[in-house]
Structure 1
Amino acid sequence: MKNKYVIGLDIGTTSVKAVLFDLIGQVISEKEIEYPLHTPREGWAEQDPLEIEKATIQVIYKVIHEKNIDKYQILTVGLSCAMHSLICMDEEGDPLSPSITWADGRSMDQAERLRNERLGIDLYKKTGTPIHPMSPLMKLMWMKENQYTPYQKASKFVSIKEFLLYRWFGQEVVDYSVAAATGLFNFSELTWDQTALKLAGITEEQLFFPKPPSHVLYGMKKSISEKIGFGKDIPFVIGATDGPLANLGIGAIEPGEMAITIGTSGAIRQMTQQPKIDSKQKTFCYAFTDQLSLVGGPVNNGGIVLKWLKDLLGSNTDYDQLTQLCSNVQPGAEGIIFLPYLNGERAPIWNPQAKGNLFGLTIRHGKEHIIRAGLEGVVFSIYHVSEALEKIVGQGTKLYASGGFARSDLWIQILADMFNQEIHVPQSYQSSAWGAAWMGLYSIGEVSSLSEIKPYIPMKSSCLPNQKHHEIYKERFAVYKRLNETLSPLYIM
C-alpha cells in the first residue's frame, strides 16, 4: 500500500512555501518561490496578487512532482498565510488593487488619530487588533478618505488567501484568524463589527463569511487543478494565519507554552482559552477556533536586520558565515546596543515612525561587534514584547523557537540566555506549514484533536541558558528600554 501524505501551504510576505509531510511530521519535500514587494511610494508596501497566485500553483506542483508522488497519495492541503493583507476585488474575482501588506504605512495618519480617541480604545477591546497601519481597517479608512479608485469600485475586500480560494473554489469564506487580524472582527461574538465597518465605509456584504479553521473546501476548478497536477476533489482546508499555526505546528498550545518565531519579522505568542487584551494596547488577541484565541505581539524587524547588515557591510558570505564572524564576541557586544527599528515597529511600542539606532560605538569596534549587536537587538525587541505579554497571561513555562532564525545556534543561544529559559527547537523550522497540515488532517477526520500533534513534532534539540550571560543581558536590556523611552519623542511623527 502506498504511503499517504499531507501538504502544508504557507503563503508568506516574501514567498510561498509548500511542504510535503508524512503523517508523523517528517518533511518529505519542500519548495519555496519568492515574489517581490513593490514600494511605489515611500511607506507603501504592495504585491501583485496574480503573481502570488501563479507562484502558489507552481510551488504545489513542484513539491508533488519532485518526489513523483501520486496525486491519490495526498490526503489534504492545509493553508497558512501572513496576516493583514488587503485586496480590492471585483465581482468576477479579479484584483482591482495590489495586495497591500502588513508592512504598508500609508494609513499612518488615520491610525495615529484613531489610536488616541476613545473610539479606538473601544475598538481594540472588541477586536483585539491594535490600532496601527498594519490592519486592513486602517487601510480601508485611508482608501475612503483619499477616494482610492479601487476601493470605490470594489465588490469585495479580501486577504490574499481569500482571493486565491475564491478564484479556485468559488467560495466566499474567511477563517477566524484572518478575519480577526483585519480590525473589523468582534473576537467574542465571532462576527463582523458594525462600528468598525462604519468607520471603514463598507458593508458586511463586501466581506466573506467567517468560518472556523477546520472548514473544508472541495471541487477545485478544473483549470486550476490541471495546473497543479492533482484531482479537483482533493480537500483544501481553510486553516488560519501563520501565527496560530506556528504555535500548533511547534506544540505550543497549552497554557504557559510560548512560541517565538523570527523570520523576516518576528513574534511571541501564546494560546488562551479566553480572549485576553492589554489595557495599553501593547499586544494583540486574535480568534483561532471557537475555543481558542491567540495572544501575543509582532515585531517588524527580524531576519531583515541580518539581511540589512549583510548588505551594509558588503559581505559576500552566507548568513551562517556572517553569524560565525561574531560568535567570539562576548554577550553585550562590548557595549553596543542596537535598536532594530529599521522598518518602524509594532509591539510593544506600536510606532511606525520608530528608527533604528546603534548606541555605544567606539573606534575599536569592528563589524563583528555590530553583527552581534544586531542579533541581540532583535531578541531584545522580542523580550520587550514578552514583558507586556506576561502581564496578561503570566510568565511562559516552556519556550519553543521556530522560523529561519532557529537554524542559527548562536541566535538560539542568545534567546535562551536573554530569557534565562531552555529553548526547544524542532527539526523543521516550517512550523506554520506543519500546523496547517495538521489542521488539514484534523479537519478531514484523520486525527481526533489538535493537541494530538505533540508526539508528531520531530524535535532537534534544546538549548540551555547561561546564567552569567543572562545577568549581562538583564543589565543591557535596562539600557535598551531607557534608550527606547529617550529616543521615542525624537522620531518624526
Structure 2
Amino acid sequence: MQFRIGMDIGTTSTKAVLYDGVFAVRDSAAQTYPTIRAEEGMAEQDPKVIFKAVIAVLQTLLNRNEVIRNQIKSVSFSSAMHSLMLVSGDGKPLTNVYTWADNRSNATLKLTREESDLNWIYQRTGTPIHSMSPLSKLLWLKKEHPVLLAKAERIVGIKEYITYQLTGEWKIDYSLASATGLFNLKKLDWDQDILDFVGVNRKAFSDPVDTNFVFTRKVEETYAKAALSLQTNLVIGASDGCLANLGLDAVGQNEVAMTIGTSGALRMVNDHIVLDPEGRTFCYYLAKDKWVVGGAVNNGGNAFEWIANIFSADYKSLNEMAGKISPGADGLLFYPYLNGERAPLWDASVQAHFIGIDAIHTKDHFVRAVMEGVLFNLAEVLDILETFGGQSKCLKVTGGFLHSSLWKQMAADIFNKTLTLSPQFESSCLGAVLVGEPYDAELLETLEAKEEEVVPDEMTSEKYKETFELYQALSKPIKEMHAIREFYRKK
C-alpha cells in the first residue's frame, strides 16, 4: 500500500495528515506559531519559525509511522493565500512574511485608487483590489520602504520559501499565483503590464507551474531533518481555499463550499473564468478547467469570540443566550466588520456596527444579532456568487461553527438551503493530496461525507428573508460610515 501526506501551511498553524491508499486518515500532526502585531494593521510571521514548524510536523508524523516511511509516495502542499516576503539572492529572508491580514498597505492602495482606475487589474487577475493582496503590499513597500524592496532579489510567498528549502527550486503554483493580483488568468503567467505598473522586475518572481507539479530536485540535508525518504515526491499543490472545495468534493457545477472558522468563505467551482464587473468576487485557479469563484470574509468566528470576551461568557452560555431570542433579534442588526472586510465590501477601513438598538434589547439580543450578522454577511456573498455562477444546488459546510447546533440551524434558515455538514478532517490537506492525483469522480463520491443534513424551517426562512432584505438595504450606507474611524485617527 502507498501512503500520502497532505500538508497545510496556514496562518495560525501548519497541519499534516497521513492518508492510506484509499485516502482514509491514518494519523495527523500540527504545530502553531504566533503572528506579530507590533503596530496597527500589522500581521507578520517569522518565515524561519514557520519552516521549523513544517519540519517538526513532518518529523512527528513520520517518526510515529516509521514502519511505513518508505511507502509514502508524496507530500503535497496547501497554503494560505496572499502572503508576501522579500528574499536575498542566496535565499535568506529580508523581511518577515506579510500575511493576508496585514492591511498597512490600505492607505497607499486608497491613494492609488484615487489616482488610477484599478478595475483593469482585477479583470486580468481575478484578485479583488484590497490590502490583503501582494499587489497592494508591493505598492506599499514601493512607497514606504523602497530601499528594502530594491535589495530583494526574490519576491515570494511562504510556500515558495518552504519548498525552496526542501528542493532548491523557486516555483509557484498557478493557484497561489492567481491570488497575488499580479498574474494573468488567461495567459497563466505574470502580467508584464501589472508588474510595470507596480515597478517590479519579472525576474524576482518564481516560475509558475500547474498544481500537480512534482519537484525534480531534493535537498538531502533538509529531507533528512524532516525524516523524509528520498523516494518521497513533493507535489506543489495549491491554495487552501481552492483545495478545500476539492477535499469536500464541492467541485460539481453549482456546488458551493462554505467555511466558517475565524474568518469565512463561500466558493464554487466553474469550468471557465468567472469575473464580477464590480470586482466583488475572486476567481482563482484550482486545476485544468477548474476555477474557484467566491468571496472570503474577514469576520466569522472571531465575532463570536469578540462578544464572548465582552460578556465574559463561554460559547455554551452564548448559545443558550441567543437561543432565548426569536429570529431577527427583535430588529437588532449587526454588521460584523470588526477587522475591516473583504467580500462583499473589499474595504479594510470599514467598521462593525449595531443598528436598531432599542430599550428592549438585552445581552441575549446582542449575541443573537452577532451570530445572525455573520451569516447575513455570507448570504450577501452567496447572492453575488449566484448572480454570476448560477443558483447553488448544494451547500457543503465545514468549520468551527458546526459545534453550535443553533448556529447550524440559523445558517440553513438564513440561506434557505439544506446544508450538508462535512466532518471531513482538514479538507485542504485532503485536497492537496487529491490535486496531485488523476481526477477520479467515483473516488470522490466515496469520500463525500453526508453524515448530517440541516433542513431549513420554512416559516423561519421567510422571516429571515425580510430581515436580510433590510440588512442588504443598509449595508451600503454602513460602508460610508467608515469615515468615523478616519475622524478619530486625526484627533
User: 1:298 maps to what in 2?
Assistant: 296
Change (3 A) 1:385 1:448: closer
Matches within 5 A, 1:460-475: 460-475=451-466
Q: Which residue of 2 aligns with 1:477?
A: 468
Residue 22 to residue 336, structure 1, CA distance change in 2 (3 Å):
farther
Pick from 200, 221, 224: which aligns with 2:222? 224
Moved more, 462-471 or 482-491: 482-491
Give 1:31-430 correspondences, 5 Å limit.
Answer: 31-66=29-64, 70-115=68-113, 119-315=117-313, 317=314, 319-320=315-316, 322-430=318-426
Q: Report the Cα distance in structure 2 between the residues aligned to 1:74 and 1:464, rounded to whole angstroms.
A: 41
Query: Could you say if the C-alpha distance between residues 451 and 271 of structure 1 is closer, same or farther in structure 2, counting changes exceeding 3 Å?
Result: farther
1:429 Cα deviation after fit: 4.7
Counterpart amino acid of 1:400? K
Relative to structure 1, is the Cα distance of residues 325 and 16 closer, same or farther in structure 2, using a 3 angstrom cutoff?
farther
Shift of 1:269: 0.9
Say if 2:127 and 2:283, in contact at 8 Å, map to a contact too.
yes
Paired with 2:475 and 2:112, the residues of 1 have a C-alpha distance of 23
Contact 2:402–2:408, Cα closer than 8 Å, also in 1: yes
For residues 188-207 of structure 1, give each alpha carbon's deviation from its aligned partner in whole angstroms, at most 9, with x where no partner exists: 11011011101221111110
Query: Distance in 2 between the 1:4 and 1:283 partners?
Result: 39
Task: Measure, in 2, the Cα distance between the counterparts of 1:183 and 1:192.
Answer: 9
Between the aligned residues of both structures, percent identity stands at: 38
Cα gap change, 1:331/1:65 in structure 2, threshold over 3 Å: closer, same or farther? Answer: farther
The one-letter code matched in structure 1 to 2:401 is: F
Q: Unaligned 5+ residue runs, structure 1?
A: none
The one-character-per-residue Cα deviations of 1:329-354 (angstroms, maximum 9, x if unpaired) are 33223332111100000111111111
Supply the AA of the counterpart residue of 1:129. Answer: T
TM-score where L is the length of structure 1: 0.93
Letter of the 1:369 counterpart: H
What is the TM-score normalised by the length of structure 2?
Answer: 0.93
* Residues 73 and 231, structure 2, Cα contact 8 Å, conserved in 1: no
Q: 1:278 to 1:451 in 2, by over 3 A?
A: farther
- The alignment partner of 2:34 has SS state of coil
Distance between the aligned counterparts of 1:52 and 1:301, measured in 2?
24
Q: 1:220 to 1:309 in 2, by over 3 A?
A: farther
Q: Deviations over 1:21-80 (max 9, x none)?
A: 233343332322221111222112111111111112112222334455531232222111
- 2:489 is matched with none
Shift of 1:325: 4.4
More displaced, 415-424 or 358-367?
358-367
Deviation per residue, 1:242-276 (Å, 9 max, x gap)? 11101101111111111111122111111111101
Matched residue type, 2:219: K
CA–CA separation in structure 1 for the residues paired with 2:400 and 2:10:
13
Q: Which whole-Å CA distance do the structure 2 matches of 1:272 and 1:87 have between them?
A: 31
Tell me the CA shift for residue 485 of structure 1.
Answer: 1.9
When the two chains are superposed, the root-mean-square deviation of aligned CA atoms in Å is 2.0
Residue ranges of structure 2 left out of the alignment (5+ in a row): 487-491
Checking the alignment, whether the CA contact within 8 Å between 1:220 and 1:233 is kept in structure 2 is no
Identify if the C-alpha distance between structure 1 residues 421 and 37 changes in structure 2 by more than 3 Å, giving closer, same or farther: same
- Is 2:265–2:378's contact at 8 Å kept on the other side of the alignment? yes
The amino acid that maps onto 1:195 is D
Q: Distance in 2 between matches of 1:451 and 1:135?
A: 36
The structure-2 alpha-carbon separation of the partners of 1:366 and 1:233, relative to structure 1 and needing over 3 Å to count, comes to farther
Structure 1 SS opposite 2:118: helix
Q: Aligned partners of 1:475 and 1:183: how far apart in 2?
A: 37
Mapped partners of 1:298, 1:448: distance in 2: 26
Match in the other structure for 1:8: 6
For residues 226-252 of structure 1, the C-alpha deviation after alignment (integer angstroms, 9 at most, x for no partner) is: 222221331121110011101101111
Report if aligned partners of 1:221, 1:232 keep a CA contact under 8 Å in 2: no
Is 1:432 the counterpart of 2:428? The answer is yes
By how many angstroms is 1:488 displaced? 1.9
For residues 435-484 of structure 1, the C-alpha deviation after alignment (integer angstroms, 9 at most, x for no partner) is: 112123x0xxxx45467423223332111111111112111112222332
Partners in 2 of 1:461 and 1:426 — Cα distance? Answer: 8
Aligned equivalents of 1:470, 1:66: Cα separation in 2: 49
Match of 1:489 among 471, 475, 480: 480
**Once the 2 structures are TM-superposed, how far is the Cα of residue 11 of structure 1 from its aligned partner?**
1.1
Q: Is the 8 A contact 1:259 1:399 kept in 2?
A: yes
Mean Cα deviation higher: 481-490 or 391-400: 481-490
Aligned partner of residue 383 in structure 1, secondary structure: helix
Distance (whole Å) between structure 1 residues aligned to residue 112 and residue 288 of structure 2: 29
Letter of the 1:265 partner, please give it.
Answer: S
User: Retained in 1: the 8 A contact 2:398–2:423?
Assistant: no
Distance (whole Å) between structure 2 residues aligned to residue 22 and residue 474 of structure 1:
45
Tell me by how many angstroms 1:388 deviates.
Answer: 1.3
Q: Provide, for residues 274-325 of structure 1, a one-character-per-residue CA deviation record: whole Å limited to 9, x for no partner.
A: 101111111111222232211111111112112222222223x3x4554344
- State the shift of 1:390 in Å: 1.3
